[in-house]
Homo-oligomer: A and B are copies of this chain.
Amino acid sequence: MDAPELERRLAEQETLLELGLALAETLDLRRVLTVALEKAEQFLAAETSSIWELDEASGELFFRVVRGRAAPEIENLRIPLGEGIVGSVAASGRAEVIVDVTADPRWIGDAARDFDTRAILAVPLVSRGRVIGVLQLLNPLEADGFTEDDLRRMRLFAGPVAHALENARLYARLQSTFVETVTAFADAVERRDPYTGGHLHRVVAYSLLLGNELGLPDHELDTLRLGATLHDIGKIGVPDGVLLKPGALDPPESEIMRRHTTDGAAIVSRIGSLRALVPIVRSHHERMDGHGYPDGLTGERIPLPARIVAVADTYDAMTTSRPYRRALLAEAAAQEIRRVTGSHLCPRVAGAFERLYGDGRFTTEQGTRLGDSLSARLDREYNRW
């Protein structure tokens, strides 16, 4: 190689080293995907790029992320392994340059109506010896088609991307396994008390309604949802004799029962990604006047999500402790909430409750629907930004 070629290679490797560092410094899936596509487009001067991920269970590639405009038509696309260009690159594990897609028999056309694909460069993403997806670049900005040299460079690029993607996937999977497992435990914990069947589900639904009425943004609603799910997780440490005691608790028993707030906070504080839930789990039994537990916080010092769960929890406890009088108790519970607003409950949250309750919108069904649409919004946001 002559000096100019050596310098070109050196610059190219410097870019790759930087990319590798940028990708290695995070386990956040979204960040990995953004960095990968941003750098891929810069590195190869392409009009747009996308990453497809292989779902090993179904043998299909699903669309993970696209830069720039993402037509809704693309978002739900699933391509069987071996079909189309993306599918055949994933199946063969071989990168491909396609200069004119219209001449390729595998080309299935543009899914997005307002986009015109001319040329494709598709490389398999391989980590731990397995194809985990495909990185695809469309339409070079300054040429008709991608070159063999583009292909060589993209192969170098695909390694760090594949590993970072796999690491982020493994981390995300472990996190969601943790959350799922903890949620399953939360469900099991509440099922210990036959009088509270479905309590958790309803408290989550009511909390979401209240949070939404108070104008919380989506990611805070998401935190609120998980916090509400886990608010009583600390009860796993409460012995049967106390938890299931039919009558009133004596002072030592009360003390044990109250510990579920700090025990629960200890459980959720162990994991970084759940730390945002600690204030909810710890403080959902605080009172505005400072006579709550475990910290005796007053007023706005009680974190808002904890004040929200307190209202949801109070309402549900009152409306379900005697299931056969439920219809009657709804209004009685609303009255009781009014009575303890200011002393126990937060006036702002209680105001939101009043509006929802007055309009007949304070129902588990409405809350569940809200939760479903929140999940859909969060998924969409995740794939397109």
Contacts and interface: CB of A to CB of B under 8 A. Distances in A.
Given A177-B270, A271-B177, A127 B25 contact: yes
A151 interface: no
Contacts of A74: none
Interface of chain A, main secondary structure: helix
Nearest to A174: B174
Interface in A1-33: 1-3, 6-7, 9-10, 13-14, 16-17, 20-21, 23-25, 27
Interface in A141-170: 156, 159-160, 163-164, 167, 170
Interface residues of A, number: 51
A198 B100 CA distance: 70
Nearest to A182: B181
A191 interface: yes
Contact of A174 (B9, B178, B188, B239): B178
A14 B13 CA distance: 8
A240 interface: yes
A185 interface: yes
Contact of A25 (B7, B163, B171, B191): B163
Contact of A239 (B16, B24, B191, B267): B191
Given A167-B167, A170-B27, A174-B271, A10 B6 contact: yes
A171 B174 CA distance: 8
Contacts of A17: 13, 16-17, 20, 156
Contacts of A173: 272
A27 B167 contact: yes
A192 interface: yes
Contact of A3 (B3, B13, B21, B25): B3
A20 B167 CA distance: 14
A252 interface: no
A174 B194 CA distance: 33
A237 B270 contact: no
B24 A185 contact: no
B21 A181 contact: no
23 contacts: A1-B7, A9-B10, A10-B10, A13-B13, A16-B17, A20-B24, A20-B160, A24-B24, A25-B128, A25-B163, A27-B170, A27-B171, A170-B171, A171-B171, A173-B272, A174-B175, A174-B271, A177-B178, A181-B182, A181-B267, A184-B267, A194-B240, A240-B240
